[in-house]
Amino acid sequence: MKAAVITRYGSPDVIKILDVPKPTPAADEVLVRVHAATVTRTDCGLLRAHPFFMRFFTGPLRPSRTILGLDFAGEVEAVGAKTLAFKPGDRVFGMCPSNRNGAHAEYAAVPERAVATMPAGARFDEAVVCEGAFYAKAALKSIDLKPGQKILIYGASGAIGTALVQLAKAAEAIVTAVVATPHLELVKTLGADRAVDYTREDFTHIGERFDCVVDAVGKTSFFRCRRLLKPDGMFAATDLGAYWQNVVLALWSLIARRKRVVIVAPGRIEGFVGFLKGRMEAGQFRAIIDRKYPLAAIADAYRYVETGQKVGIVVITVAAD
């Protein structure tokens, strides 16, 4: 099969499209013929081994995982001996585990717990949205958002941000989304009750207090946002922050037994893809697709995602829908 292969860490220039053996599914796995994948910020971090400590998990000198790609949508080609939920020909989507080869290839072997059948009527490129939604759901869990509560989402135009706006609305929260001018209309169509343009006004002086503020793009800080929080409000970060400040603050919150700052940690994959399918079928979640690239041009997709300017997701078309 054709795959985007990395044999060393580095810039997108290290990615090569090569012919490699097709994976064989383990007993609990499904072999998927990939139609669509994505390039995410996580893939970019894995490609460059950034932050450096990541190498403890991904291989100290060279990547142990040579094919990246978390999100996928495609057709089941074969199933492992103990896989009961799927059969060849099923249209499926889901998320590859980050510790083995992924979806930047014509075929990927994925544990069945990370797979669901496609949402009714969806195209493959519309379903290949898992990672952003996965962290958005984890963010909502970490702040324990309740109906009627007020949430401010900073950086609401990225993969996590666009997913978070939609999932927070589905959870019946009151959503304020902070984005640049070109994305104001988008976040309103996703359901935001208020859209604030960070290029034209200081979002920390908008005259409102929130039950939680989520930095969905790693570009603000607790210290900047604390005046936006109600006395018992929480700040959730998707990033470590400058000088690892979010790690220090989250640890301090734990020691002080006052949940003030949390870092969004990935939740469990079990049940997640089915949950997302439910939201899509209920009309509460949709993919925001910025650009599409063929597998052969995946290095250009990485270069674009690395700019930090994508809106929603960047799709890799591996096979025609």
Ligand X SMILES: NC(=O)c1ccc[n+]([C@@H]2O[C@H](COP(=O)([O-])OP(=O)(O)OC[C@H]3O[C@@H](n4cnc5c(N)ncnc54)[C@H](OP(=O)(O)O)[C@@H]3O)[C@@H](O)[C@H]2O)c1
DSSP 3-state helix, strand, coil percentages of the chain (rounded to 5)?
Answer: 35, 25, 40
Among 25, 80, 111, 158, binds ligand X (CB under 6 A): 158
Give the pairing of strands 229-237 and 210-215: parallel
3-state SS, residue 241: coil
Contact 112, 29 (CB under 8 A): yes
Q: Does 218 bind ligand X (CB under 6 A)?
A: yes
CA dist 279 and 167 (Å) reads: 8
Which residue of this chain has its Cβ atom nearest to ligand X in the complex? 158
Among the residue ranges 47-55, 122-130, 141-149, 306-314, the one whose residues contact ligand X (CB under 6 A): 306-314
Q: How far is the CB of 265 from ligand X (least distance, A)?
A: 7
* Region binding ligand X by CB under 6 A among candidate stretches 6-14, 105-113, 143-151, 216-224: 216-224
Interaction of residue 51 with ligand X, rule CB under 6 A: no
Distance between CA atoms of 299 and 13, rounded to whole angstroms? Answer: 7
Q: Which residue number, 29 or 131, has a Cβ lying nearer to ligand X?
A: 131
What's the min distance (Å) between Cβ of 263 and ligand X?
A: 7
Give the range of 55-63, 165-173, 221-229, 302-310 binding ligand X by CB under 6 A: 302-310
Nearest distance in Å: CB 285, ligand X: 15
Query: If we measure between CA atoms, which residue out of 34, 167, 162, 190 comes closest to residue 105?
Result: 34
CA distances from 140 to 135, 171, 183, 260 (A): 9, 9, 22, 14
Within 261-290, which residues bind ligand X (CB under 6 A)?
A: 264, 266
- Contact pick of 189, 309, 319, 321 for ligand X (by CB under 6 A): 309
Q: Which stretch binds ligand X (CB under 6 A): 31-39, 87-95, 143-151, 157-165?
A: 157-165
Q: Report the run of H or E that residue 167 belongs to, with start and end.
A: helix 159-170
Angle at 162 between CA 217 and CA 9, to 5 degrees: 50
**Residue 42 makes contact with ligand X by CB under 6 A:** yes
Q: Find the binder of ligand X among 83, 101, 157, 221 (CB under 6 A).
A: 157
The residue from 239, 262, 302, 315 that contacts ligand X (CB under 6 A) is 239
In b/e form, how buried is each residue of 34-70, taking b as 16+ CB within 10 angstroms?
bbbbbbbbbbbebbbbeeeebbeebbeeebebbbbbb
- Does residue number 43 form part of the binding site for ligand X (CB under 6 A)? no
**Is 317 an interacting residue with respect to ligand X (CB under 6 A)?**
no
Q: Is 155 in the site for ligand X (CB under 6 A)?
A: yes
208's tokens: 């409102």
The yes or no reply on residue 33 touching ligand X (CB under 6 A) is no
137 binds ligand X (CB under 6 A): no
Q: Which is nearer to ligand X, 22 or 226 (CB)?
A: 226
Could you give the CA distance from residue 75 to residue 89 in angstroms, rounded to a whole number? 6
Q: How far is CA 94 from the centre of its chain?
A: 12
Residue 275 identity (one-letter amino acid):
F
The answer to whether residue 198 forms part of the interface with ligand X (CB under 6 A) is: yes
Distance of closest approach, residue 92 Cβ to ligand X, in angstroms: 23
Under the rule (CB under 6 A), what is the footprint of ligand X? 40-42, 132, 135, 155, 157-161, 180, 198, 216-219, 238-239, 264, 266, 308-311
